[in-house]
Structure 1
Amino acid sequence: MWQEIVVGIIVAVAALHAGRKYLPAAWRQQVVYALSRRGLSQDKLARFFNTESSCGSGCGSCGGCGDSPAPPAPPSDGGPARRVIMLNVQR
């Protein structure tokens, strides 16, 4: 009987670790949101699953749907916007 309990705990911890490490960020955010609705601490869950707190709840505090920062200004020297690496081919 104790063997089944220990094996069940090991399997649960392994599944939790795999979910924490390999799930896509959007799924991890949904897990944090679903567990926080059940009464668990959202800040602790967000830290554990490496997500931002409050994402997925629609409250807007995660900055996901707020104003996006302005794109960086192009270089003012009039040159190309991309850097070019010159290669010297020796034959």
Structure 2
Amino acid sequence: MWQQIIVGLIVAAALLHASTKYLPAGWRRRIVYALARRGLDEDKLAKFFKVQDSCGSGCGSCGSCGPGADSSAPPSPPAARRVIKLHVQR
């Protein structure tokens, strides 16, 4: 009997891990919304299921639009682009 309980807990943990990592983002948002309606903390669930916005304002940017952003600072230079050269052998 203990073996069945332990196996059930392992399967439940594996299902939880798979649902937080491999489900589409829309499904994860629905799960968070459904669990939040039942009284659980929505912010913690969103963080656990990895569906929270990156800066909290909903824009999903890097946070440069936040209240601490300095508009008088010069813009950072663009990232260097790397080129991968392919040599085709025929």
Smaller-chain TM-score bracket: 0.5 to 0.7
- Report the TM-score, using the length of structure 1 for normalisation: 0.57
Q: Please name the residue that 1:7 is paired with.
A: 7
Q: Please state how far the C-alpha of 1:62 moved relative to its aligned partner.
A: 4.3
Aligned to 1:43: 43
* SS class of match (1:50): coil
| 1:49 maps to amino acid | F
Gaps of 5+ in 1: 54-60, 64-91
Partner of 1:72: none
What is the Cα deviation at residue 52 of structure 1?
2.0
Which one has a bigger Cα radius of gyration?
A: 1
How far did 1:37 drift? 0.6
- Name 2:20's counterpart in structure 1: 20
In the TM superposition, structure 1's runs of 4+ consecutive aligned residues that sit over 4 Å from their partners are none
The alignment-based identity, stated in percent, is: 62
| Deviation per residue, 1:31-67 (Å, 9 max, x gap) | 00000111111111000000127xxxxxxx746xxxx
Tell me the C-alpha RMSD between the 2 structures.
2.3
Deviation for aligned residue 1:13: 0.3
